[in-house]
Amino acid sequence: MSYTNANPQHCALCGAVFRCAQQTGDAQCWCAALPALPAERLNPSRTCLCPDCLREETQRSINM
């Protein structure tokens, strides 16, 4: 999935370009529709993940 905007984001895992609605001023980002990752799965040094990688990380956390 790729989006075009003035400040595209790059996925911290796969490098895919995607649009982070929170950073572009939209009321809600697509990621808000997914369950939140558990705190132990978060990495403060890592930027956002693309929709595909975030879905995979969410699924991994559910299956743990």
**How does pLDDT run across 23-61, given as a tens digit for each residue?**
777 778 888 888 888 888 778 887 788 999 999 988 888
Q: Is the pLDDT of residue 3 over 50?
A: no
Residue with tokens 């999935």: 1
DSSP letter for 48, please. Answer: -
Model confidence, pTM = 0.71
What region, left, alpha or beta, does residue 28 occupy, with left being phi > 0 and alpha being psi -120 to 50 degrees?
beta
The whole-angstrom separation of Cα 11 and Cα 32 is 17
Q: Is the pLDDT of residue 8 over 70?
A: yes
CA 25 to chain centre: 16
29 neighbors 20 (Cβ within 8 angstroms): yes
| pLDDT value for 6 | 57
| pLDDT value for 14 | 95
